[in-house]
């Protein structure tokens, strides 16, 4: 199947009152497992690569992007490629030629005016190059191993009025909102601010994106989708599954048995989390 477009997958999910799952991949095994999990539950999916994952590859985008694209093209379900948490304008500009249908431009750490200015210029570039663009307002904490933000700290929640202005002034296609989730949680114990999500869904007419979704139990994921979240970003849950499987299968010198176990475990995680959103 040829590569899908993230915007189309989000639109189709929204039309059905669902959310599309977008999984952060680091290795080829992550990509293979996400595709296998999506095929198992016969549902479209997004494979996403973060700027941090590219840094892990010594800044080389193409080797892992081409591998992900090949997995996507071989899939029996629609799969789109998304470049995630991009801060570097140089990396942003590589997206279109590397098979990505969409990008998330992340200037959420900047003060409002600077976030808006940087995001507007990223959106102009993205649209001129045929890409769907997501941005973030209010900051979902815990990025790159940072300490989680205090959920009551200023900036740890997205303000609906500010969000409406931000979307209209920046021209982005989707908005990541801070409603109580935190990146990199290894337990599924977080709870969302559903009242705030309801206000955001009412105030905004672009799809809302949830980050840091690994920390949420299935019931919270389902409630987020019911409340209007249309793209759900998941990374750490795959890494937890992978690392546990490797730990329990780490014998001998051949990496294939433990990598196969890791892929099997990540496939099960991906399938289960996609199902929680549908």
Residues annotated as catalytic are: 84
From ligand G3H, Zn ion, none, which one binds at residue 213 (CB under 5 to 8 Å depending on kind)?
A: ligand G3H
Q: Which of 26, 12, 164 is nearest to 84 (CA)?
A: 26
Cβ–Cβ < 8 Å for 278, 18: yes
Give the count of alpha carbons within 13 A of 119, CB side only.
Answer: 33
Residue 147 vs 253, nearer CB to ligand G3H = 147
236: partner contacted, choices ligand G3H, Zn ion, none (Cβ within 5-8 A by kind): ligand G3H
Helix (H, G, I), strand (E, B) or coil at 154: coil
Question: Which of 57, 46, 56, 1 lies closest to 24 in space, CA to CA?
Answer: 46
Nearer to ligand G3H, 116 or 209 (CB): 209
Nearer to ligand G3H, 136 or 159 (CB): 136
Rounded distance between C-alpha atoms, residue 43 and residue 99, angstroms = 21
What gap in Å lies between CA 257 and CA 249, rounded to an integer? 7
Rounded CA-CA distance 89/99 in Å is 17
Which residues are near ligand G3H by CB under 6 A?
24, 84-85, 183-185, 211-215, 233-237
Give least dist CB 17 to ligand G3H, A.
Answer: 22
Which residues sit at the interface with Zn ion, rule CB under 5 A? 211, 233
Residue 51 or 159: which CB sits closer to ligand G3H?
Answer: 51
**Binder of residue 234, out of Zn ion, ligand G3H, none (CB less than 5 to 8 A by kind):** ligand G3H
Minimum CB–partner distance for residue 99 and ligand G3H (Å): 19
Least Cβ distance, residue 212 to Zn ion (angstroms): 6
Task: Count CB-CB contacts under 10 A for residue 151.
Answer: 16
CB 63 within 8 A of CB 99: no
Give me the least distance between CB of 93 and Zn ion, in Å please: 21
């Amino acid at each position: 199947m040829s590569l899908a477009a993230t915007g189309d997958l989000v639109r189709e999910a929204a039309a059905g009152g669902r959310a599309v799952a977008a999984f952060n991949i680091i290795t080829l095994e992550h990509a293979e497992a996400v595709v296998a999990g999506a095929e198992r539950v016969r549902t479209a999916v997004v494979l996403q690569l973060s700027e941090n994952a590219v840094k892990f590859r010594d800044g080389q985008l193409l080797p892992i992007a081409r591998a992900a694209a090949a997995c996507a093209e071989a899939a029996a379900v629609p799969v789109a490629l998304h470049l995630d948490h991009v801060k570097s304008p140089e990396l942003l500009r590589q997206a279109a030629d590397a098979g990505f249908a969409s990008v998330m431009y992340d200037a959420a750490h900047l003060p409002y005016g600077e976030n808006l200015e940087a995001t507007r210029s990223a959106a102009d570039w993205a649209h001129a190059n045929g890409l769907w663009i997501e941005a973030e307002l209010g900051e979902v904490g815990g990025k790159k191993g940072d300490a989680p933000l205090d959920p009551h700290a200023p900036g740890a929640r997205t303000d609906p009025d500010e969000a409406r202005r931000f979307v209209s002034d920046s021209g982005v296609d989707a908005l990541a909102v801070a409603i109580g989730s935190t990146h990199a949680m290894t337990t599924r114990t977080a709870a969302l601010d559903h009242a705030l999500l309801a206000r955001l869904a009412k105030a905004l007419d672009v799809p809302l994106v949830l980050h840091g979704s690994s920390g949420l139990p299935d019931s919270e994921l389902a409630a987020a989708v019911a409340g209007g979240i249309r793209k759900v970003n998941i990374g750490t849950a795959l890494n937890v599954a992978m690392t546990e499987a490797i730990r329990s299968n780490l014998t001998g010198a051949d990496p294939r048995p433990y990598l196969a176990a890791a892929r099997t475990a990540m496939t099960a995680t991906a399938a289960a989390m996609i199902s929680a959103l549908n």
